[in-house]
Amino acid sequence: MRLCGEDIIGRPDDEANARAVVERALELGVDFIDTADSYGPGTSERILREAGAPEDAVVATKAGLLRESGGDWIPHGDPDYIRNQVLVSRDRLGVDTIDLYQFHRPDPDTDFEASVETFAELKDDGFIDHVGLSNVTVEQLETARDIVDIATVQNQYNVAHRPDEDERVLDACEEYDIGFIPWFPLAAGDLDEVDGIDDIADAHGASRYQVALAWTLHRSDVMLPIPGTSSVDHLEANVAAGDIGLSVDEMARLG
């Protein structure tokens, strides 16, 4: 998402830098990259193709959320739109089959089951390998699982934001062995209210943001955090968080 311009609209100021971020991620062994057709719109998918991501990593993209120039995000789960967007995303990414295609957000104006059935049809037709959901409840996950195998769920979740509903979703993902992809794993930097995070960071010679990422990895075996960045330095710091081992006591203090 952060490979785009300001407010996730249009091209970044430095496209060479954006490609360099992706290339460095691949060099560091990152093998899962999340994007969406609405990031730019289209900008992120194109840059990922130009940087070679689809050849060396699982690239997960999404459909079902429109982006307006004024900054609004508008749910749009119309089946015909999704069928169109899978073709657009395949072209931008330069692939015949999308690794993981996610329903970006339920649309209150479109029947949820109809939207998910469209993703199931795209899988049957060979356009995508796996189906994912984003921003869903446990009930919506259960409904979708009756239609198609669900590989992943992507909801907002981090050490500072753990509402009961998303805890229930994570529990369900653990039960069904579904990958859980927390978006905003760094809480958009808002970690001031997390008790003990700075003390724990100091003990590990790390930043509070690295500890927040390490917490997600320790929280569950099905967790796939997706920290976004437009900087190689930040990327390297994020990847290094995977080497931080938090103790049982530290996890308990973080909650």
User: Which of the residues are catalytic?
Assistant: 39
Both structure tokens of 217: 């990895």
Both structure tokens of 13: 């100021």
**Alpha carbon distance 96, 157 (integer Å):** 32
SS3 of 112-147: HHHHHHHHHHHHHCCCEEEEEEECCCHHHHHHHHCC
Look up tokens 């120039």; give the residue. 69
Q: How many CB atoms lie within 10 A of CB 37?
A: 25
**Alpha carbon distance 195, 169 (integer Å):** 24
**Alpha carbon distance 98, 75 (integer Å):** 21
Both structure tokens of 59: 């690239």
Element (H, E) at 183: strand 179-183
Element (H, E) at 197: helix 197-204
Both structure tokens of 71: 């900054």
Residues with Cβ < 8 Å from 161, sequence gap 6 or more?
A: 184, 187
Q: Is 38 exposed, middle or buried (0-12, 13-18, 19+ CB in 10 A)?
A: buried
Residue from 172, 248, 228, 237 nearest 47 by CA? 228
